[in-house]
Chains A and B, each alone.
Chain A
Amino acid sequence: MVDESRTYKMSVRKALLDPRTKLLLLVLLALFCLAGVGGAKLAPFRACLAALPFVLMLIDKRTVRGFVLLAAVVASEAYIMFAFTGQGGFLEGFMLVTTFIVVRLAPCLMMGSYTMDTTSVSEFSAAMNRMHVPSAVTIPFSVMFRFFPTIKENAANLHDSMVMRGIGGANLGKFVEYRLVPLVEVTSRSGDELSASALVRGLGAPVRRTDIARIGFGAGDAIVMLVLAAALAGSLLLPWEAWV
Chain B
Amino acid sequence: MEESKKLNGKDLINIGIYTALYFVCVFVVAMLGLIPVGLLLLVVLVPLIAAIPFTMYLTKVRKPGMLFISAIIIGVLMLLTGMGYYALVLSVITGIVAELIWKSGDYRSIGKIAPTYAVFNLWMWANYLPLFLEHDAYVAARPDYGETYWQALETLLPPWMLVVLAIACIVFSILGALYAKKVLAKKMAAAGME
Q: Give A194's nearest chain B residue, CB to CB.
A: B13
Of A57-65, A100-108, A158-166, A218-226, the segment with at least 4 beta carbons within 8 Å of chain B is A100-108
Cβ-neighbour of B141 out of A40, A112, A139, A146 (below 8 A): A40
A-contacting residues, B91-148, CB 8 Å: 130-131, 134, 137-145, 148
Does B160 lie at the interface of the complex (its beta carbon under 8 Å from any beta carbon of A)? no
Interface size for B (C-beta < 8 A) is 61
Q: Mark B1-35, 1 if CB is under 8 A from A, else 0.
A: 00000011110111111111101100000000001
A140-B70, A151-B21, A181-B184 are known contacts. Are A35 and B10 too (CB-CB below 8 A)?
no
Does A2 lie at the interface of the complex (its beta carbon under 8 Å from any beta carbon of B)? no
Cβ-neighbour of B9 out of A112, A147, A148, A204 (below 8 A): A204
Cβ-neighbour of B15 out of A80, A140, A194, A203 (below 8 A): A140
Q: Mark A64-87, 1 if CB is under 8 A from B, else 0.
A: 000000000000000011001010
Which residues on the B side are within 8 Å of A94 (C-beta)?
A: 36
A101–B81 contact, CB under 8 A? Answer: no
Q: Mark B143-174, 1 if CB is under 8 A from A, else 0.
A: 11100110111001100000000000000000
Which residues on the B side are within 8 Å of A31 (C-beta)?
A: 85
B13–A139 contact, CB under 8 A? Answer: yes
| Bound CA–CA A199/B14 (angstroms) | 13
Q: Give B76's nearest chain A residue, CB to CB.
A: A141
| Bound CA–CA A145/B60 (angstroms) | 20
Cβ-neighbour of B153 out of A38, A96, A105 (below 8 A): A96
Which residues on the A side are within 8 Å of B20 (C-beta)?
A: 143-145, 147-148, 151, 187
Interface size for A (C-beta < 8 A) is 71
| Bound CA–CA A66/B13 (angstroms) | 35
| Bound CA–CA A187/B19 (angstroms) | 12
Which residues on the B side are within 8 Å of A92 (C-beta)?
A: 152
Does A157 lie at the interface of the complex (its beta carbon under 8 Å from any beta carbon of B)? no
A110–B130 contact, CB under 8 A? Answer: no
| SS of B interface (majority) | helix
Does A137 lie at the interface of the complex (its beta carbon under 8 Å from any beta carbon of B)? yes
A26–B76 contact, CB under 8 A? Answer: no
A191-B17, A195-B10 are known contacts. Are A84 and B149 too (CB-CB below 8 A)?
yes
B142–A36 contact, CB under 8 A? Answer: yes
A110–B82 contact, CB under 8 A? Answer: yes
Apart from A81-B145, A111-B82, what are 4 other A-B pairs with CB-CB below 8 Å? Answer: A100-B153, A101-B131, A140-B16, A144-B17
Query: Which B residues have a C-beta under 8 Å from some C-beta of A?
Result: 7-10, 12-21, 23-24, 35-36, 39, 48-49, 52-53, 56, 60, 65, 69-70, 72-73, 76, 79-86, 130-131, 134, 137-145, 148-149, 151-153, 156-157, 179, 183-184
- Enumerate 26 A-B pairs (CB-CB under 8 Å) in ascending A order: A23-B79, A26-B79, A35-B84, A37-B137, A38-B141, A40-B140, A84-B148, A96-B152, A100-B131, A111-B82, A112-B83, A113-B81, A136-B12, A137-B73, A140-B16, A140-B69, A144-B73, A145-B20, A147-B20, A151-B21, A180-B49, A184-B52, A188-B14, A199-B9, A203-B13, A204-B8
Q: Please list the 6 inter-chain residue pairs (A to B) with the smallest Cβ-Cβ separation, ordered nearest first.
A: A112-B82, A143-B16, A204-B9, A140-B16, A86-B148, A30-B84
